[in-house]
Amino acid sequence: MATQTMQATNSKLKEFFVDQLKDIYWAEKKLVKTLPKLQEAATTSALKDAFGNHRQQTMIHVDRLERVFGILNEEVDASKCPAMAGIIDEGEDIIDDTEEGTAQRDAGLIFAGQKAEHYEIATYGGLVTLAKTMGYNDAAEVLSQTLAEEKEADALLTQIAENNVNYEASREPK
């Protein structure tokens, strides 16, 4: 199927695209505030470092989204993302419901982190495809960088879980 290269500047699809940008922009800004809480709650140094490093990366993601709004000649704006709000609430529940200093808490935090990453991967993947469809290739390129980094963050969380956290959690008594 041929890809349309003309920019769809006034379409329902562009309106949807911009709405999704506002959604993920809110989500990324919220994660910048939430990741330090996850970092503080984590026990293992690898997980603490992963959350800290991803916060720095997430600030770059916010900047990139602002660039994408500029590419589209749209005002930078955020609209509350109910999905990410729920994932963050769930992460806070995990902290509240697990004992400090346990591998069980770290396993739960990894779970919460991966839920956030998977939401972001799905969103950025869709945004890249829509940007290409509408001929916003510069926006697609910027969004693709973030998509790749979200996939790397997810893989790192899996690696941390598999390297020791899940095993240690399975050995902790009730």
- Give the confidence band of 8 by pLDDT, cuts at 50, 70, 90: low
Specify the amino acid at residue 21: L
- Residue 104, both tokens: 């069980």
- Is 1 contained in some domain? no
- Residue 37, both tokens: 């809480």
Cα–Cα dist 40/106, whole Å = 11
On whether the CB atoms of residues 42 and 161 are closer than 8 A, the answer is no
Residues 80-112: b if buried by 16+ CB within 10 A, e if exposed? ebebbeebbeebeebbeebeeeebbbbbbbbeb
- pLDDT for 14: 93
Any alpha helices (H) in 72-102, and if so which ranges?
A: 82-97
Looking at the structure of the chain, the number of domains it has is 1
% of the chain beyond a pLDDT of 90: 92
- Is 20 contained in some domain? yes
Domain that holds residue 64: 15-171
pLDDT tens profile 59-110: 999 999 999 999 999 999 999 999 999 999 999 999 999 999 999 999 999 9
User: Smallest Cα–Cα separation from 163: which of 97, 99, 103, 100?
Assistant: 103
- Is 5 contained in some domain? no
% of the chain beyond a pLDDT of 70: 94
Mean pLDDT, range 15-37, rounded to an integer: 97
- Is 8 contained in some domain? no
pLDDT tens profile 51-69: 999 999 999 999 999 999 9
Q: In this model, does residue 5 exceed pLDDT 80?
A: no
Mean pLDDT of the residues in the chain? 94
Any alpha helices (H) in the chain, and if so which ranges?
A: 12-41, 45-71, 82-97, 103-133, 137-160, 166-171
- Is 7 contained in some domain? no
Cα–Cα dist 62/80, whole Å = 15
- pLDDT for 174: 83
- Give the confidence band of 3 by pLDDT, cuts at 50, 70, 90: very low
- The CATH number of the domain holding residue 111 is 1.20.1260.10
pLDDT tens profile 143-160: 999 999 999 999 999 999
Cα dihedral sign, 18-19-21-25: positive
Phi–psi pair at 43, nearest 5 degrees: -100, -50
- Is 110 contained in some domain? yes
On whether the CB atoms of residues 108 and 98 are closer than 8 A, the answer is yes
